[in-house]
Amino acid sequence: MESSESVPSKTAEDQRDSPGQLTGAVVIVALVSAISGVLYGYDTGIISGALLQITDDFGIAETWKQVIAASILLGAVIGALTCSYLSDKRGRKGTLVLLAVVFVVGALWCAFAPNPVLLSLGRLVLGFAVGGATQTAPMYVAELAPPKYRGRLVLCFQIAIGVGIVIATIVGATESISWRHSIGAAAVPAAIMLGLLLRLPESPRWLVKQGNGDEARSVLQKVRPSNYDVERELEETANLARVERTAKTRGWPGLREAWVRPALILGCGIAIFTQLSGIEMIIYYSPTILTDNGFDTSVALQVSVALGVTYLLAQLGGLAIIDRVGRRRLTLIMIPGAALSLFVLGLLFVTGNSGRDSMPFIIACLIVFMLFNAGGLQLMGWLTGSETYPLAVRPAGTAAQSAALWATNLFITLTLLSLITAIGVGPSMWLYAAFNVAAWVFVYFRMPDLTGRSLEEIEGKLADGKFRPADFAR
């Protein structure tokens, strides 16, 4: 997630607006972040199509399907929390090097797993890398990127997740590819990521925090153009490091402070609702749900590809308009469309209109849901963490938010097929439609519009106890 600094001086602000500050080294840093995002999307999304083959190979029932799909999410919770500590102790680059190795090991482990137990353990290992990447990669690129380009380069990570999901659905739809090959193939981009990382520098901000000012200066001189005022940025970074060290409210204990609590409630609440809204249910299990209800496997996998492409296009569209429409307004507009599509989808199943004749309507509901959900609420899951938390508690806050997101994802993945078996597809869709209604209510009452607000202004509102939507009305 993006990490921004305190109010810059006029000179520094002039630098931010100047052109030509994007060097080749920074582009490679952004590429590493993008590869980690692709791996996130691919490793979590590939199970959608692979699960059909795994079921046939291992002869497993719903319980094992859920365990295999969910094990990567348990690992992600562990990874998100652990790498918050590791990135402070080992450095951003050092942590990412470790995660790249884990990505390679996890992919190969899963590819050669002889039974569902070892496959689940391999996906647990992969999950550690996935969760750690969501915590560390955006922070690394944010701390190395020039201020002018920081937001756009950090968002490469989010777009890359959608690219990974699309690739996973296309590979899954190619039924001639073994699930072992499709899962193991993730080791290749992970190895490329490792090779690139070994040639990159450590984050200058982390180096300053460790007291290595000279090394930080050397890094900045390598990743900034020759006419850039490195000393100014180094001075700002040193000032921020002093603020963090002397802040009374900092780290994990700081999240318990009463004035910080509204930010934590908003961040974790949005993270939870991004998952309860049904996005992972659709990504992971749509082929399984469709084939269990009479769809041909090839059709179900083609639908999965269409959903992946819709996810990516909706994210791109949402990111293109979010600053003009506003975060809060866009979310409130899009959630009802997602809720309505799930309600109609549930109605089709409850009324028995879920056969081949209703196939176009079922597919339309799934795509409409993906369009409204990915283009609205899903964008908020990562943005709130980069904008909401005070500087001194931001690493702990984003780690807590990531853990809340992955834990909710884990719960849904472990229970969905059992829920469908117990109450049916239709009522299950209605339950998730109700979660979308609850998400709308939460956003309406708890989410202020932070569009165009500086991080210092947001922190000031928190400190003054004015963090309700009405407090941010223009």
pLDDT of residue 409: 87
Largest CA distance in the chain: 70
Distances (CA, A) of 29 to 196, 323, 418: 8, 25, 42
Report all structural domains of the chain as residue ranges with CATH numbers, in order of start. Answer: 17-200 (1.20.1250.20), 253-474 (1.20.1250.20)
Between CA 106 and CA 344 the distance in angstroms is 39
Residues in contact with 209: Cβ distance below 8 Å, sequence separation at least 6, in sequence order: 241, 244
Please report the sign of the dihedral spanned by the C-alpha atoms of residue 282, residue 285, residue 287, residue 293: negative
Let me know how long the chain is.
474
Between CA 339 and CA 432 the distance in angstroms is 8
Q: Which amino acid is at 133?
A: A
pTM summary value: 0.78
* Residue 416 half-sphere exposure toward CB, CA atoms < 13 A: 30
Between CA 25 and CA 41 the distance in angstroms is 25
Between CA 84 and CA 393 the distance in angstroms is 12
pLDDT per residue, tens digit, the chain (474 aa), is 334 433 444 444 444 444 345 677 888 888 898 999 999 999 988 988 888 899 999 999 888 988 998 899 899 989 988 988 888 888 889 999 999 999 999 999 999 999 999 999 999 999 999 999 887 888 888 778 776 666 667 678 878 988 998 999 899 888 789 999 999 999 999 999 999 999 899 988 889 888 888 998 898 888 888 777 788 888 877 887 777 676 777 778 888 888 899 999 999 999 999 999 998 788 777 887 888 777 888 888 888 889 989 999 998 998 888 878 888 999 999 999 999 999 999 999 999 887 777 888 999 999 999 999 999 998 887 677 767 888 678 778 888 888 898 899 889 888 888 898 899 989 999 999 999 999 999 999 999 988 777 666 888 888 888 888 888 876
Between CA 201 and CA 66 the distance in angstroms is 40
Are 416 and 428 in contact, with CB atoms under 8 Å apart? yes
